[in-house]
């Protein structure tokens, strides 16, 4: 076997079924080996699309996403997708072709030091120097990508190594993943703190999905009776319709969630990391609370907020040990009262489409296994606020990196990983143009995703901040010259519908449910619709700005 | 605050670059560095002096996460009238 054949065999041994990529000179031996392998290759139209599709595949399935690119610009085009995976702890193996070993370091054609360029945004990386190392390195890359706090691993493969011959490769079983159990003394301390609390609050993050701990979280929430809030990445960790769920916290969180955080006396962080979009002004975040912090990554505990009790290890087993019931009836009633009082309202009579109303209706209409793949901007926050997720794997959103252009390729990856689940891509007119070329991928493989484009002819989130914090000085946010999106979809042979009136919402959602193949739904909204509530940058979460909801 | 760290790591490609990049990005400035290969060339031991307003604990936790790092030993030091004074020493395994 040559090196490229060993590579494809090793990927098969790791259980990989789909790889996303784009061929080129230095990766050609691998593309040659793909012809005889069991791997299905999805040809994207830009390497960034490959990395983001691998991300959507991984987040929605819990498996490792794999992307392939050639050297030089092919490799650098992966970078944003790798950074996105690193920021949101997504397991990924990115394989890049490299120029011949003897040409490395000579500024050869399409040579770039991708090993060096990617270093700050990978969990680990390898340059393969010998053909016999290919198998062990690929297996190690998967183990590292999946273990502990997951992340992307880059493997750079010089072309000559991919064509060298080696017959000693033995496929390995995927490594078993284990996390340390939490120290019993710390568990006892956490239990005491919960039992003694009068105003406890659970703050669930993306770590719940990563640890596949939704069952344990639900049992913990219900056994303790503690009100619960979630981060953007934690949405769906507990069902959006659950009685004890107060909503997302943070910059665009619900009032009930943020008030609870600011007032609680015990904050139980479960797979969350006190991100600045969650805490607002850190010193004023949950000012009267003691903190119990459970996480797989010891570096996150006490990084930003000192934990009074740290529980580092497997959050699934940890939560099972904490089933105590604090006496906090008055607190629970207060949280419930706030939840009811500040609940979303969608009943104002308007003619235009109000995106939050559209999204809540979509949420009500779609099945619980529907995957929503978001882009980045106002529509992303409206999805987070108004779509009620039953499972965290159903909400794909570029959280920490905020990568515009994420939604379309990630939705493609998610649909290929979950062919039985409906996939709806919710995008904006800014974001969708960042990876619009992937409409060709949808067409090529006839991937039946539904694309909801929420179009306000503006970079809405930037416009909102310029309105609020830059004295309405609008700088380079107008997208008045957008293309005709339905003509564009038609050019890729994707059927589309257009709505701009409230009365058309129900029919559009029915089309989403009824259409078998891909569908492009162009939803025109009012440019002045903003995302509320909003905690201004640098302010405490108790200082929420609000406007009259429609 | 200046601190001395001793890091033991696999002698693998790019390992020092990875550590120095991590320190820089997390807000630590390099004062001095020396690194020695083990007799069998499989490991490197680096002695690094860094300075920052940030807690040394932040740097240590992030370096420990690097796959090639085996252990980190910290000696926190403080600038005094007569050079440097030891405050604490701690050893930890990655």
Question: CA of B83 to nearest chain A CA: how many angstroms apart?
Answer: 30
Question: A547: pLDDT confidence band, cut at 50, 70 and 90?
Answer: confident
Q: Which H/E stretch holds residue B26? A: none
CB contact under 8 A, B13 and A127: yes
Chain centroid to CA A123: how far?
A: 17
The pLDDT score that the predictor gives to residue A177 is 86
Residue A433 annotated among the catalytic residues of the structure: no
Q: Are B91 and B14 in contact (CB under 8 A)?
A: no
pLDDT band at B75 (very low <50, low <70, confident <90, very high): confident
Contact residues, chain B, for A127 at CB < 8 Å:
13-14
The whole-number pLDDT of residue B94 equals: 33
**How high does pLDDT run on average in chain A?**
97
Give the tens place of pLDDT for each residue, A375-430. 999 999 999 999 999 999 999 999 999 999 999 999 999 999 999 999 999 999 99
**Which one of A109, A192, A329, A510 is the catalytic residue?**
A109
Residues 6+ apart with CB under 8 A from A250: A231, A232, A258, A275, A277, A278, A279, A280, A535, A541
| Residue A461 bears catalytic tag | yes
Mean pLDDT of A210-235: 98
Q: According to DSSP H, which parts of A288-406 are helical? A: 315-320, 329-341, 355-365, 378-386
- Distance, in Å, from the CA atom of A63 to the CA atom of A65, rounded to the nearest integer, reads 6
> What CATH number does residue B38 fall under?
3.30.70.260
Q: Say what the pLDDT of residue A349 is.
A: 84
Q: How far is CA A377 from the centre of its chain?
A: 14
Output the pTM of the full model. 0.96
A159 is catalytic: yes
For chain A, give the percent of residues with pLDDT over 70: 99
Q: Which domains does chain A have, with CATH numbers?
A: 3-163 (3.40.50.970), 184-341 (3.40.50.1220), 355-524 (3.40.50.970)
Task: Name the helix (H) or strand (E) containing A450.
Answer: strand A450-455
pLDDT of residue A108: 97
* A2-36 b/e (C-beta count within 10 Å ≥ 16 → b): bbbbbbbbbbebbebebbbbbbbebbbbbbbbbee
pLDDT at B77 over 80: no
Residues A180-189: pLDDT tens digits? Answer: 889 999 999 9
Q: Taking 80 as the threshold, does the pLDDT of residue B92 lie above it? A: no
Closest-approach residue (CA) in chain B for A301 = B61
- Closest to A115 (Cβ–Cβ): which among B14, B61, B65? B14
Chain B interface mutation, best of A120, A146, A155, highest count of B Cβ atoms under 10 Å: A120
- Is residue A241 classed exposed, middle or buried when 0-12, 13-18 and 19+ CB atoms within 10 A define those classes? exposed
Residue indicated by tokens 């550590």: B19
Q: Which H or E run includes A168? A: none
d(CA A25, CA A47): 14
Beta pairing class for A519-524 and A496-499: parallel
Write out A88-155 in H/E/C secondary structure.
CCCCEEEEEEECCHHHCCCCCCCCCCHHHHCHHHCCEEEECCCHHHHHHHHHHHHHHHHCCCCCEEEE
- Alpha carbon distance A30, A23 (integer Å): 9
| pLDDT band at residue A29 using 50, 70 and 90 as cut-offs | very high
Q: Are A238 and A270 in contact (CB under 8 A)?
A: no
Does residue A547 or residue A533 have the better pLDDT?
A: A533
Chain B nearest C-alpha distance from A116 (Å):
8
ipTM (interface predicted TM):
0.92
How much is the pLDDT for A548? 57
The sign of the torsion formed by the CA atoms of A440, A447, A62, A27 equals negative
For A235, the 3-state DSSP assignment is coil
| Residue in A closest to B14 by C-alpha | A116
Q: Is A47 a catalytic residue?
A: yes
B17:A120 CB<8 A: no
Strand-pair category, A309-312 with A519-524: unpaired
Q: pLDDT for A277-309, tens place per residue? A: 999 999 999 999 999 999 999 999 999 999 999
pLDDT at B2 over 50: yes
Has residue B81 got a pLDDT over 50? no
| Residues of chain A in Cβ contact (below 8 Å) with chain B | 115-116, 119-120, 123-127, 129, 144, 297-299, 302-303
CA–CA separation, A474 vs A463, rounded Å?
A: 6
Residue numbers in B near A116 (CB within 8 A): 14, 17
pLDDT over 70 (residue B89): no
Asked if A303 and B64 come within 8 Å (Cβ–Cβ), the reply is no
Q: How far is B10 from chain A (nearest CA, A)?
A: 13
Q: How many structural domains are present in chain B?
A: 1
Kindly give the pairing relationship between strand A290-295 and strand B69-80.
Answer: unpaired
Q: In what helix (H) or strand (E) does residue A312 lie, and over which residues does it extend?
A: strand A309-312
Q: Domain range spanning residue B36?
A: 2-93
CA A480 to chain centre: 29
Contact A299 B21 (CB under 8 A): no
pLDDT in tens, A47-106: 999 999 999 999 999 999 999 999 999 999 999 999 999 999 999 999 999 999 999 999
The alpha carbon of residue A263 is apart from the nearest alpha carbon of chain B, in Å, by 29
How does pLDDT run across A324-340, given as a tens digit for each residue?
Answer: 999 999 999 999 999 99
pLDDT at A492 over 90: yes
CB contact under 8 Å between A299 and B18, yes or no, is no
Instruction: Report residue B32 CA to chain centroid gap.
Output: 10
């Amino acid at each position: 076997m040559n090196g490229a054949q060993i590579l494809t065999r090793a990927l098969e041994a790791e259980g990989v079924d789909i790889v996303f990529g784009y061929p080129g000179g230095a990766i050609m031996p691998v593309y040659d080996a793909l012809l005889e392998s069991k791997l299905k290759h999805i040809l994207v139209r830009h390497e960034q699309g490959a990395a983001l599709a691998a991300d959507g595949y991984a987040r929605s399935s819990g498996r490792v996403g794999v992307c392939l690119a050639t050297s030089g610009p092919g490799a650098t085009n992966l970078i944003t997708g790798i950074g996105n995976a690193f920021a949101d702890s997504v397991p990924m193996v990115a394989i890049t072709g490299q120029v011949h070993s003897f040409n490395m370091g000579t500024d050869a054609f399409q040579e770039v030091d991708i090993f060096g360029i990617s270093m700050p945004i990978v969990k680990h990386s390898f340059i393969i120097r010998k053909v016999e190392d290919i198998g062990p390195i690929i297996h190690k890359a998967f183990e590292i990508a999946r273990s502990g706090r997951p992340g992307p691993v880059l493997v750079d493969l010089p072309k000559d190594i991919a064509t060298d011959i080696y017959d000693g490769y033995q496929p390995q079983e995927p490594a078993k993943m284990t996390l340390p159990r939490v120290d019993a003394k710390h568990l006892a301390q956490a239990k005491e703190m919960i039992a003694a609390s009068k105003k406890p609050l659970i703050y669930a993050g993306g770590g719940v999905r990563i640890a596949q701990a939704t069952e344990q979280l639900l049992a913990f929430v219900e056994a303790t009776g503690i009100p619960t809030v979630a981060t953007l990445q934690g949405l769906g960790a507990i069902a959006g319709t659950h009685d004890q769920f107060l909503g997302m916290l943070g910059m665009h969180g619900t009032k009930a969630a943020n008030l609870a955080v600011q007032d609680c006396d015990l904050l139980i962080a479960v797979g969350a990391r006190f991100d600045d979009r969650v805490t607002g002004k850190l010193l004023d975040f949950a000012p009267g609370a003691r903190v119990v912090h459970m996480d797989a990554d010891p570096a996150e505990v006490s990084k930003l907020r000192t934990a009074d009790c740290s529980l580092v290890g497997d959050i699934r087993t940890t939560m099972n040990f904490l089933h105590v019931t604090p006496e906090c009836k008055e607190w629970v009633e207060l949280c419930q009262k706030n939840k009811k009082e500040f609940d979303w309202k969608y009943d104002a009579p308007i003619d235009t489409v109000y995106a939050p109303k559209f999204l809540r209706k979509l949420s009500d209409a779609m099945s619980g296994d529907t995957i929503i793949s978001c882009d980045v901007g106002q529509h992303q926050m409206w999805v987070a606020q108004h779509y009620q997720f039953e499972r965290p794997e159903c909400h794909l959103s570029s959280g920490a990196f905020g990568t515009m252009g994420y939604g379309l390729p990630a939705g493609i990856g998610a649909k290929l990983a979950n062919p039985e689940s409906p996939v709806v891509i919710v995008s904006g007119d800014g974001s969708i143009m960042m990876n619009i070329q992937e409409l060709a991928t949808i067409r090529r493989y006839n991937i039946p995703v539904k694309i909801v484009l929420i179009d306000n002819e503006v970079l809405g989130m930037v416009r909102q901040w310029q309105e609020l914090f830059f004295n309405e000085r609008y700088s380079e946010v107008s997208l008045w010259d957008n293309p005709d999106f339905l003509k564009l979809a038609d050019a890729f042979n994707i059927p589309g519908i257009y709505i701009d009136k409230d009365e058309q919402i129900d029919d559009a959602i029915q089309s989403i449910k009824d259409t078998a193949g891909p569908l492009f739904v162009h939803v025109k909204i009012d440019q002045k619709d903003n995302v509320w509530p909003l905690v201004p940058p640098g302010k405490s979460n108790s200082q929420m700005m609000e406007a009259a909801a429609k | 605050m200046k601190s001395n760290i001793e890091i033991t790591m696999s002698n693998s490609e790019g390992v020092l670059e990875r550590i120095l990049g991590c320190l820089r990005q997390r807000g630590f400035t390099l004062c001095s560095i020396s690194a020695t290969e083990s007799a069998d060339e499989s490991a490197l031991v680096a002695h690094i002096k860094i300075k920052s307003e940030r807690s040394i604990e932040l740097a240590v936790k992030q370096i420990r996460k690097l796959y090639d790092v085996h252990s980190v030993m910290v000696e926190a030091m403080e600038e005094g009238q007569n050079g440097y004074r030891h405050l604490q020493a701690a050893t930890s395994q990655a």
